Amino acid sequence: MQARFQGHHLRRGRFSKAGNFYVLTAVVEGRRPVFQDWHAGRSVVEQFRSAEASGLVRSMAWVVMPDHFHWLIELRDKTLAELMCRVKSRSSHSLKRSQDLDGRLWQRGYYDRALRRDEHLQQAARYIIANPLRAGLVQRVGDYPLWDAVWL
């Protein structure tokens, strides 16, 4: 019998520590390409910037793909769960107001990977912002509108 994936089980064993670096990923419910419209993707970007302005994180790199996002952060305050709840709920609320979206926007749970200090952050950032290239959405990273990195 094949095990069924359940995203809400991703919380088990999760550890949040201020000062640590994490790669976070959240996926749209049903992998719907909601963010093909870059205006819709800006609602997620606004939440990344709001979290940084509030002192919760330092954003190192991010990309909003049509049906998910990747975000490289240094956690400064709160827990990963609190941060992701904030970003997902606020972006969902914003999109439901501005677009005609029904039902849940985000899948339950999220993925996180802690980076050790000795890991190369720029390498992780390059991998994140190259997602549109690997997905065949653009020929050059600069042609994709929904990404940023501190190393520019």
- Total-model pTM: 0.88
- Give me the number of domains the chain comprises: 1
Whether residue 5 has pLDDT greater than 50 = no
For the residues 119-136, what does the mean pLDDT come to? 93
Work out the percent of the chain whose per-residue pLDDT is above 70.
Answer: 88
- Assigned domain for 1 exists: no
For residue 6, pLDDT over 60 is answered with: no
Distance, in Å, from the CA atom of 78 to the CA atom of 27, rounded to the nearest integer, reads 22
Domain that holds residue 44: 7-149
Choice between 70 and 10, residue whose per-residue pLDDT is larger: 70
Query: Does residue 2 form part of some domain?
Result: no
Residue 41 lies in a domain: yes
Length of the chain: 152
The pLDDT tens digits for 49-97 are 999 999 999 999 999 999 999 999 999 999 999 999 999 999 999 998 8
Kindly give the interhelix angle for 80-98 and 38-53, rounded to the nearest 10 degrees.
140
- Specify the CATH number for the domain of residue 25: 3.30.70.1290
Is 90 exceeded by the pLDDT of residue 34? yes
Asked if residue 29 belongs to a domain, the reply is yes
Question: Does the residue 112 lie in any domain?
Answer: yes
12: in domain: yes
